[in-house]
Amino acid sequence: MRRLAIHRGSSGSHINVTPLIDVVMCLIVFYLIVGRLASTNGQTVAPPATGVGDVSAMPRLVVNVARAETGGVAISLSGSSLSLESLGETLRLRLGDPVSGEVAIRADRRLSWGEVRPVVEACRAAGLTSVKLVTERTEGVPR
């Protein structure tokens, strides 16, 4: 004789939250990945590789500097493309006066210093006293 499992309880029905948790977790992962990719605005940036660096949290403001398809330099700040001329003013607005916050520069290793330097100078002009250069981690120890 087959024994049937009988749910015992007040109503005999419960809401199964497992699929809800699964879907919510997948959505969180999805938006984390999309948000991260969107911060580079689709640009392919390969930072210089170093064997040493700081492992502190990435600053909120990240300036991406990459080679544009047209041959020039493509600059984006936290996912939004902008010109070099407007970078200084945008940084000034975002950092406030007096300056609070940090900026990281993720520049492509194939660029020349002459192409990256204007971005550094825009940060200096915005009132920053330091920046963080993003590098790709190779073997080494954090500082």
Query: Which of 31, 54, 81, 83 lies at the binding interface for other proteins (CB under 8 A)?
Result: 54
Instruction: Please report how close the Cβ of residue 78 comes to other proteins at its closest, in angstroms.
Output: 15
Instruction: Please report how close the Cβ of residue 60 comes to other proteins at its closest, in angstroms.
Output: 13
Q: Which of the 8 DSSP states describes residue 72? A: S
Integer Cα distance of 142 and 54 in angstroms: 6
* Contact between 58 and other proteins per CB under 8 A: yes
* Contact between 73 and other proteins per CB under 8 A: no
Integer Cα distance of 137 and 108 in angstroms: 14
Q: Give the DSSP per-residue string, 7-35.
A: --SSSS-----HHHHHHHHHHHHHHHHHH
Query: Residue 89: left (phi > 0), alpha (psi -120 to 50), or beta?
Result: alpha
Instruction: Please report how close the Cβ of residue 66 comes to other proteins at its closest, in angstroms.
Output: 11
Q: Which residues pair with 76 in a beta bridge?
A: 64, 81
* Contact between 13 and other proteins per CB under 8 A: no
Q: How many residues does the chain have?
A: 143
Query: Which of 18, 44, 70, 100 lies at the binding interface for other proteins (CB under 8 A)?
Result: 18
Site for other proteins in 24-53 (CB under 8 A): 25-26, 28-29, 32-33, 36, 47-48, 50-53
Residue with tokens 């330097």: 117
Judged by the rule CB under 8 A, the positions of this chain that interact with other proteins are: 1-3, 5, 18, 21-22, 25-26, 28-29, 32-33, 36, 47-48, 50-56, 58, 104, 106-117, 120-121, 123-124, 128-137, 142-143
